[in-house]
Amino acid sequence: MAAQHDQEEYFDVLTKTGEKTGISKPRGEVHRDGDYHRAVHVWIFAESTHELLLQQRADCKDSWAGQWDISSAGHIAAGDSSLISAMRELQEELGVTLPKDAFELIFVFLQECTINDGKFINNEYNDVYLVTTIDPIPLEAFTLQESEVSAVKYISFEEYRRVLAQEHPEYVPYDVNGQYGQLFTIIEKRYKENAEARSLALEKQLNRYASTSLSAELTGLTAADKEALSLLVKAATIMDKIFYVQVWYSNPSLRDWLKENADKSQLDKLKWMYYVINKSPWSCLDENEAFLTTADSAVKLLPKATKPVPGWKGFEYRTSFPVVKPPGANFYPPDMDKLEFTSWKDILQKDKQEEAMGFFNVIRRHSESLFEDSTFQKVGNVISSPQDLYVVPYSQEYNSLLAEAANLLRKAGDMASSSSLKRLLHSKADAFLSNDYYDSDIAWMELDSKLDVTIGPYETYEDALFGYKATFEAFIGVRDDKATAQLKLFGDNLQVLEKNLPMDNIYKSESVTAAPIRVIQLLYNAGDVKGPQTVAFNLPNDERIVKDRGTSMVMLKNVSEAKFKLILKPISDVCIMEEQREFVDFESFFTHTICHECCHGIGPHTITLPSGQKSTVRLELQELHSSLEEAKADIAGLWALRFLMDRDLIPKSLAKSMYVSFLAGCFRSVRFGLEEAHGKGQALQFNYLFEKGAFILHPDETFAVDFEKVEDSVTSLSREILTIQARGDKEAARTLLQKYGVMTPSLKRALEKLENVQVPVDIVPDFPIANQILCDIN
């Protein structure tokens, strides 16, 4: 049963566009007044027979009595959640108890109609779920709720589409040529797609990545460090396991299934190969468009999902994932929206609000746990409330995996020859179990070791809902001492750069700490390293540490060299005017990458709002923060290079190379897709500079830099972004990104040319040393 008030079911009243009004009303009044409200539709689809399960509505129903309808459906009670409602309705009406990974939200359908001589007005937003079983469920396995359902039957989805199109009087009407036609389109596409055509599409997607081997000399490592390296590589693989869970709750099952079945056909092999790159069913280079469907996913058996039937082994289903990548990943309940989170957060005490928005925890539902009992006993009423959400620290959510990783880090720390590495590994092991990462992040900033390690939760790109939650990752490499020494200049001048940033002085910090810069040759990475590979990172992101100690950066030199050789040079041959191609060089590319990372450490972080309240840029800009921050670091990095040249700290001879290499790099980053923070941020910069005339398109469709206009344009955009951040102005950020962070015709044409000549978009690294270590361990 749904939530009740005085024995009558209440619904949340929505606006016509589907937002909650904050008002709830009794069911009868909602349908009398035509209020917009929400419901769930749950379809059970049998894969082997291509049949849908229908229920016959009970004769006592106040709408469409006695007609054949959806497998299971019901209203979402006031304060309740969509997924819980779907799980509950299926259990109550048909006696089928399933975990959340069986339910795939495929679309939302708005039904507006009037029946019963105008007495019943149905303005209903329906969340439509699909449950995919391998074979039809025996009809005798169902336990029907007599007050709701009088019978069930299977019908082929094609036959069902036909009877709906004919408006057959025995079936509840749905417009198959309108929104509800999506149900049939989705099923048809999944099960009638040509395997050869799909293989060709996957091959094309794979060909956008250039394979390259990344290695390093280990001669500078002590024997003890080499032993520690083996443990660290193993610990890094655990970051992979955690990240798979963070992306989506059924993602680990999908990974294992694809790997297990990779040798069954060429198509299965290609699915696995492309999955390994993306670490999910969503393609990073295609705006997170799904390249797999639930039809490709793992099969699970639930012997007790229904009442037993002699000779039937039980309920076999496909673990699901949505076609559209969930913005909240697996950090939040899958059916939670921003309004629900904000309403809950706002009633918490201040310290609990900070936890809710913190980097190192997830948000879960109390009500959801009632449906996760492995015995699948009937659970009775489940009523959500404003306190349904609660915080779970990473140390609890990923406890077994983090305990294993902590043990490996402790052992590696015991072996390490460097005292700073020993401190880092021991403190990080403690952090994994305590969920307090402050000391370990300080230890990481102070690391002075030939064997370089970054491991833990850092970046927040995966949380596209708010940008709050950090994903686990690992980078293990050997420090390049010569290159590291050459870069000290940049870290030492951060305060000077901060003082001279193109923004009002009231927004500038007086205490920017010099940023240590380490250059490494990457040996292995894991965790949140899907799709396009990073060439550098600036950490930590914890504003407390940024304020107290600044940041530190790590440059991945062998990754940069591979990208320049395999991607940037070929891009310049296609997109840059012939007379300026000579200016595209590795030194400028690598130097700007350094300045990009430096500029993450300067500019606004902790800010004062117009109201006088203290906050951070991340909290104010939320899901827009990552894209704008990447654009800020890029464009301010370009400004910083010019500033350092003017003070004779770096050679002026780099000026033209700096700007032209940056222009070529725009095309490289935008190819990552506009759903990715770097890609969207780069589109913003390119389009802004193009509008200002700093970038010029020639008749032969190549681009060039106008050296007379580019400097002022770079300064202007830097000032605009820095001011938006300093004010925490989310609407201004949205306006800027909506105007410039888009695919314009000139940009689109350049990308089409690169695709036509098959210039790789990014690299897929192979790590021979780490692979050998893992092979020896296994």
d(CA 394, CA 405): 13
Residues pairing with 209 in the sheet = 762
| Among the listed residues 675, 777, 751, the one whose alpha carbon sits nearest the alpha carbon of residue 327 | 675
d(CA 736, CA 255): 38
Looking only at the bridges linking them, the beta strands covering 149-156 and 104-115 are unpaired
Domain count along the chain: 2
| CB atoms closer than 10 angstroms to residue 13 | 19
- Nearest 5 degrees, angle CA 354-CA 359-CA 360? 100
d(CA 416, CA 368): 44
Residues 258, 261, 262, 268, Cα dihedral to 10°: -80
Structure confidence by residue, pLDDT tens digits, 291-303: 999 999 999 999 9
Residue 633 pLDDT > 50:
yes
Structure confidence by residue, pLDDT tens digits, 111-150: 888 887 777 888 999 999 999 999 999 999 999 999 999 9
What is residue 616's predicted lDDT score, i.e. its pLDDT? 92
Contact 69, 52 (CB under 8 A): no
Residue 375 pLDDT > 50:
no
Q: Which residues contact 664 (CB under 8 A, 6 or more apart)?
A: 568, 571, 572, 575, 576, 584
d(CA 631, CA 633): 6
**Residue 624 carries which side chain, given as an amino acid letter?**
L
Q: What is the three-class DSSP state of 601?
A: coil
d(CA 571, CA 576): 8
What is the percent of the chain where pLDDT is above 90? 80
**Residue 588 carries which side chain, given as an amino acid letter?**
S
Last residue of a domain, one of 157, 190, 223: 190
Q: How far is CA 126 from CA 2, 39, 86, 294, 519, in A?
A: 16, 5, 11, 21, 53
Residue 29 pLDDT > 50:
yes
Residue 368 lies in a domain: no
Question: Residue 677: phi, psi to the nearest 5?
Answer: -60, -45
- Nearest 5 degrees, angle CA 249-CA 98-CA 81? 70
**Residue 659 carries which side chain, given as an amino acid letter?**
Y
Residues 157, 163, 164, 169, Cα dihedral to 10°: -140
Domain CATH number, residue 59: 3.90.79.10
The structure tokens listed for 368 are 């959801």
Residue 8 pLDDT > 80:
no
Last residue of a domain, one of 163, 190, 217: 190
Residue 648: pLDDT band by 50, 70, 90 thresholds?
A: very high
Name which of 369-378, 423-432, 599-608, 692-701 the model is least confident about: 369-378
Last residue of a domain, one of 134, 159, 190: 190
d(CA 510, CA 507): 10
**Mean predicted lDDT score pLDDT of the chain:** 92
> How far out from the chain centre does Cα 303 lie?
33
What is residue 675's predicted lDDT score, i.e. its pLDDT? 84
Q: How many CA atoms lie within 13 A of 381 on its CB side?
A: 9
Mean pLDDT of 372-380: 43
Residue 232 pLDDT > 80:
yes
What is residue 256's predicted lDDT score, i.e. its pLDDT? 98
Residue 606 pLDDT > 60:
yes
Q: Which of 29-38, 203-212, 332-341 has the highest mean pLDDT?
A: 203-212
Residue 637 lies in a domain: yes
Structure confidence by residue, pLDDT tens digits, 448-480: 999 999 999 999 999 999 999 999 999 999 999
d(CA 370, CA 618): 34
d(CA 333, CA 249): 10
The structure tokens listed for 636 are 């301010």
Looking only at the bridges linking them, the beta strands covering 120-133 and 104-115 are antiparallel
What is this structure's pTM? 0.86
Contact 135, 46 (CB under 8 A): yes
Q: Name the strand (E) or helix (H) holding 629.
A: helix 625-646
Residues pairing with 442 in the sheet = none
> How far out from the chain centre does Cα 695 lie?
32
Residue 126 lies in a domain: yes
What is residue 673's predicted lDDT score, i.e. its pLDDT? 86
Q: Which residue has the higher pLDDT, 546 or 427?
A: 427
Structure confidence by residue, pLDDT tens digits, 570-579: 999 999 999 9
Q: Name the strand (E) or helix (H) holding 283.
A: strand 282-283
Residue 722 pLDDT > 90:
yes
| CB atoms closer than 10 angstroms to residue 414 | 13
Contact 593, 633 (CB under 8 A): no
d(CA 623, CA 605): 15
DSSP assigned state of 697: E
Residue 7 pLDDT > 80:
no
What is residue 485's predicted lDDT score, i.e. its pLDDT? 86
Q: Which residues contact 615 (CB under 8 A, 6 or more apart)?
A: 606, 607, 608, 609, 728
Residue 491 lies in a domain: no
DSSP assigned state of 93: H
d(CA 460, CA 553): 17
Q: Which of 151-160, 369-378, 536-545 has the highest mean pLDDT?
A: 151-160
Residue 1: pLDDT band by 50, 70, 90 thresholds?
A: very low
Name which of 86-90, 179-183, 508-512 the model is least confident about: 508-512
DSSP assigned state of 319: P
Residue 6: pLDDT band by 50, 70, 90 thresholds?
A: very low
Residue 383 pLDDT > 50:
no
Mean pLDDT of 89-114: 93
Residue 382 pLDDT > 80:
no
The structure tokens listed for 276 are 């390994």
Q: Which residue has the higher pLDDT, 122 or 682?
A: 682
What is residue 368's predicted lDDT score, i.e. its pLDDT? 84
Residue 77 lies in a domain: yes
What is residue 372's predicted lDDT score, i.e. its pLDDT? 62
- Go through 464-481 and write b for each residue having 16 or more CB atoms within 10 A of its CB, e for each that does not: bbbbbbbbbbbbbbbbbe
Q: How far is CA 374 from CA 246, 303, 377, in A?
A: 22, 11, 8
Residue 728 lies in a domain: yes
Domain that holds residue 645: 561-760
Residues pairing with 550 in the sheet = none
| Among the listed residues 704, 560, 680, 572, the one whose alpha carbon sits nearest the alpha carbon of residue 632 | 680
What's the residue count for the chain?
778
Residue 200 lies in a domain: no
The structure tokens listed for 428 are 């990080």
Contact 286, 755 (CB under 8 A): no
Residue 540 preceded by cis peptide, ω within 30: yes
What is residue 386's predicted lDDT score, i.e. its pLDDT? 55
Q: What is the three-class DSSP state of 163?
A: helix
Helix axes 266-278, 195-206, angle to 10 degrees: 40
Mean pLDDT of 296-317: 96
